Amino acid sequence: MRTSHPQLVWVNRERLVRSRDMSEVAALVGAAAAGDQAAWNGLVDRYNGLVWSVARSHRLSAADASDVVQTTWLRLVEHLGRLQNPERVGAWLATTARRESLRALRHSGRQVLTEELPETATDTHLGAALLTAERDQALWQAFGGLSERCQMLLRILVSDPPPSYDEIASALEMPIGSIGPTRGRCLERLRGLAEGEGVTATDRRELE
């Protein structure tokens, strides 16, 4: 490609890396479908953080989230040989985990009436007490003040290893094109809240 625009070059390199990634993933799926446990473990290493983050972003308790994660992987075992786009197995897992999380939410709701609300990662006061750095505490407190949508997006975005936008879009059932802009807005808001403990007059008006 004949361009000297640095950003374009960077984008193309990203795409190249991404497409190589995707064919590696498809190869892992193919090998796992043929019975290769090591390939399967490779998929788990790559995507369990994403699957867990999807369940947790729905504010499921650790126990309910664990059930969702387990069901999601068992479903993939069932579907290994039948995936239409093996290179998009991450998006498939994210979609499956989202559906299972929503079912679990509605389903386990029956017992919530008599129980304490489940402890979640977004119990920000509890979380903040475990964090030592002042900056981290402020950020985590601020995270709890974000809209539910922002919390979900960011929780999934920061799963380890970092998911692709395609995977995030599947996890949230959101158009892929709106992930980038929403990410930007949510992170800006997060910084604003974290740094605004002192709160300027403008911030206060905005918050109210």
Partner 1 sequence: MTDKDAVTEAELRAIVSHLDPVPPRLDAAARGAFTWRTVDAELAELMRDSADAEEEAGALVRGGRGPRQLSFESPRLGIELEIVATGPRSRRLEGQLLPPATALVTVERPGEDGLSVQADELGRFVLDGLRAGAVRLHVVLRGAQIAIPWTTI
Q: Which is nearer to partner 1, 23 or 41 (CB)?
A: 41
Q: Which of 51, 61, 62 is nearest to 99 (CA)?
A: 51
With 0-12 CB in 10 A as exposed, 13-18 as middle and 19+ as buried, what is 31?
middle
Residues 54, 101: contact at Cβ < 8 Å?
A: yes
Contacts to partner 1 from residues 140-159, by CB under 8 A: 140, 143, 154-155, 157-159
Residues 159, 52: contact at Cβ < 8 Å?
A: yes
Contacts to partner 1 from residues 2-61, by CB under 8 A: 32, 35, 37, 40-41, 44, 48-49, 51-52, 56
Sequence letter at residue 93: L
Name the residue with tokens 């650790």: 62
- By CB under 8 A, residue 69 contacts partner 1: yes
Q: Which is nearer to partner 1, 6 or 208 (CB)?
A: 6
Contacts to partner 1 from residues 75-104, by CB under 8 A: 75-78, 80, 99-100, 102-104
- By CB under 8 A, residue 121 contacts partner 1: yes
Task: Report the sign of the C-alpha dihedral through residues 157, 24, 66, 166, in that order.
Answer: positive
In degrees, rounded to 5, the angle at the alpha carbon of residue 165 between the alpha carbons of residues 95 and 41 is: 60
Least Å distance between CB 160 and partner 1? Answer: 6
Name the residue with tokens 């109210």: 208
Contact set with partner 1 (CB under 8 A)? 32, 35, 37, 40-41, 44, 48-49, 51-52, 56, 62-64, 66-71, 73-78, 80, 99-100, 102-115, 121, 127, 130-131, 135-136, 139-140, 143, 154-155, 157-160, 162, 180, 183-184, 187-188, 190-191
